[in-house]
Amino acid sequence: MTCYSLDGLTPVVHPTAYVHPTAVLIGDVIIGPGCYVGPLASLRGDFGRIVLEEGANIQDTCVMHGFPDSDTVVERNGHIGHGAVLHGCHIGEDVLVGMNAVVMDGARIGARSFVSATAFVKAGFSCDPQSLVMGAPAQVKRQLSDQEVAWKQAGTREYQLLAQRCLESLVACEPLAEVESDRRRIADRGLRPKGSSSQ
């Protein structure tokens, strides 16, 4: 990873977390146990604090940032989809934020909620636990079922396992010139896309 200390504050990464080498961590960043930080993610703790709690993941090209003295937090088992932007907001426990969603300053997303792909969550927004949040500007559309939350939890467990897999076996390499005749596949882990709140 690319890691920078700023004003005497050095990012903290728990030994069981995985941060991709192309991710950038700056200043007051705290990454907890079992977290996954994907390629090209940018976590900039140059004004406020950035926190990923235990088991959270933030995927490829995501950005976490905030205004001075703010905390941008993803609570335990939070799941942040590709390209999402979190700015000075609080993402509750077990929340899914979909691809390319934007969550603005002071917003608080209740536990076990989904923020749909491409949603724009305005500053100061809040929602109850287990809400489906959609649109631009985002609104609560309905409550989520326990089955939908269970589906999200299964996806998050896969990212927690991915952190372990990357720590154990991800290595830089040169590409092959052609496909091997007996090329195996990465095991199908049983996940299938479902609904509009894509991971």
State the CATH number of the domain containing residue 129.
2.160.10.10
- The whole-chain average pLDDT of the chain stands at 94
Q: How many domains does the chain have?
A: 1
Please, which residues have CB within 8 angstroms of residue 34's CB and are 6 or more apart in sequence?
14, 16, 17, 54, 55, 160, 163, 164
Domain limits at 44? 2-143
Q: pTM of the entire structure?
A: 0.91
Asked if the structure places residue 133 within a domain, the reply is yes
Asked if the structure places residue 130 within a domain, the reply is yes
Asked if the structure places residue 167 within a domain, the reply is no
Q: Looking at residue 188, what is its pLDDT? A: 57
Asked if the structure places residue 156 within a domain, the reply is no
Kindly state the percentage of the chain with pLDDT values over 70.
Answer: 94
User: 69-91: per-residue pLDDT in tens?
Assistant: 999 999 999 999 999 999 999 99
Q: Determine contact, residues 139/145, Cβ cutoff 8 Å.
A: no
Q: Can you tell me the mean pLDDT for 102-130? A: 98
Q: For residues 191 and 152, which has the higher predicted lDDT (pLDDT)?
A: 152
Q: Looking at residue 185, what is its pLDDT? A: 86
Distance in angstroms (rounded) separating the CA atoms of residues 99 and 82: 5
User: 2-33: per-residue pLDDT in tens?
Assistant: 999 999 999 999 999 999 999 999 999 999 99
Distance in angstroms (rounded) separating the CA atoms of residues 195 and 199: 10
Distance in angstroms (rounded) separating the CA atoms of residues 122 and 145: 25
Q: With a cut of 80, say whether residue 145 has pLDDT above it.
A: yes
Asked if the structure places residue 148 within a domain, the reply is no
Asked if the structure places residue 197 within a domain, the reply is no
Q: Looking at residue 5, what is its pLDDT? A: 97
Q: Could you tell me which residues are beta bridge partners of residue 97? A: 80, 115
Structure tokens at 133: 């949040």
Asked if the structure places residue 41 within a domain, the reply is yes
